Amino acid sequence: MKVEIRTHGPVKILVDDVRIIREILLRGGFTDPSPFQILKEGQVFGLIKKIDIDLEMHVRFYEDFTIDSEMEFSKEYLEHPYDCRPPL
């Protein structure tokens, strides 16, 4: 019998408290996003780090102790809400 385990993000972290990871990332230059961030299903919190003038890294933490991240164009671009991810 195959057991399916649903997770939100691609990486599952093995800590008892995700606040530890949050604090490490905050010390590494990540910040809390604006109150306008759209929360995904099961998301506990998210952080953003400006990589350069054009790009930001978004990291999201979920209730099942998974994390996902993505690179997006800076929110300073008018196009940000519509097509945020740079082409691969």
The number of angstroms, rounded, from the C-alpha of 85 to the middle of its chain's C-alpha atoms is 13
**Tens of pLDDT, residues 24-35:** 999 999 998 877
pTM: predicted TM-score of the whole model, two decimal places: 0.71
> What span, in angstroms and rounded, lies between the C-alpha atoms of 29 and 59?
12
Mind listing the domains of the chain with CATH numbers? 11-73 (3.30.310)
Cβ proximity of 80 and 72 under 8 Å: yes
**Tens of pLDDT, residues 58-70:** 888 888 888 888 8
Cβ proximity of 79 and 70 under 8 Å: no
